[in-house]
């Protein structure tokens, strides 16, 4: 990644080319589909829009649900088109179910998360340049579980606030450039859950940055859980 692109990313709040606002971890949508009981793992493949960097995102997530409380941990590798290198990121969420239960098909979940990524490059003079990005989504998730004899269908939607802070340092100078932005985002999807614990899931994420800029990402994934 070149020096001018890194500076542009900080000015834009680490959005656009890296998809920093359209993902919990880079290249994968923010997921808030409720709190399940037990342990779950999942893998997802993300396809960002042009304003989110294009390219491809690959993510893996582990989740634990204990009653109304759930936590997740995720790692991802995002390879934006034309960026010259992949971006690794890691993140976590804490989830609290405020409505819903085993016999109630509707659930409402509060979620707060944080993710971190770091990009490195060199200036024209050979000095190291580092862009660090923190992303903190906070929102509410609404999910509906529709059972049937073969598999359950769970559509969900989750509006949120996105807070992103990007910091650029290096380049042969002692100065550091930082920028913090807050935007409205929304994600949603559909899960198909089978009796053996396998889940097929599709997700979509979009952020309203104003000025007609709406970076988004679509993902497809597989999950498996032990518990209900």
pLDDT digits (tens, 9 = 90+) for 140-176: 999 999 998 899 999 999 999 999 999 988 765 667 8
What pLDDT score was predicted for residue 13? 43
**Would you give the end-to-end CA distance of the chain in angstroms?**
44
Contact in structure between 216 and 22 (CB atoms under 8 Å)? yes
What pLDDT score was predicted for residue 19? 47
What pLDDT score was predicted for residue 124? 63
What pLDDT score was predicted for residue 9? 47
What pLDDT score was predicted for residue 45? 98
DSSP assignment of 124-171: TTS-EEEEEEEEEEEEEEEEE-B--SSEEEEEEEEEEEEEEEEEEEET
Residue ranges of the chain whose pLDDT lies below 50: 1-21
pTM (2 d.p.): 0.87
């Amino acid at each position: 990644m070149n020096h001018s692109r890194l500076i542009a990313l900080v000015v834009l709040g680490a959005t656009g080319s890296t998809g920093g606002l359209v993902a919990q971890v880079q290249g994968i949508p923010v997921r808030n589909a409720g709190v399940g009981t037990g342990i779950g793992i999942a893998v997802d493949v993300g396809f960002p829009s042009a304003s989110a960097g294009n390219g491809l995102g690959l993510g893996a997530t582990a989740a634990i649900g204990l009653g109304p409380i759930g936590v997740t941990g995720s790692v991802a590798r995002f390879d934006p088109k034309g960026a010259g290198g992949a971006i690794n990121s890691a993140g976590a969420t804490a989830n609290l179910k405020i409505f819903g239960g085993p016999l109630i098909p509707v659930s409402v979940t509060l979620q707060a998360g944080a993710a971190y990524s770091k990009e490195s490059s060199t200036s024209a003079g050979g000095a190291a340049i580092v862009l660090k990005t923190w992303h903190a989504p906070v929102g509410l998730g609404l999910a509906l579980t529709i059972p049937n004899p073969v598999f359950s269908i769970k559509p969900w939607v989750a509006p949120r606030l996105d807070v992103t802070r990007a910091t650029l340092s290096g380049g042969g100078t002692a100065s550091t450039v930082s920028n913090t932005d807050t935007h409205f985002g929304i994600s949603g999807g559909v899960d198909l859950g089978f009796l053996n614990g396998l889940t097929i899931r599709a997700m979509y994420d979009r952020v309203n940055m104003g000025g007609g800029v709406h970076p988004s990402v679509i993902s497809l994934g597989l999950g498996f859980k032990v518990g209900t």
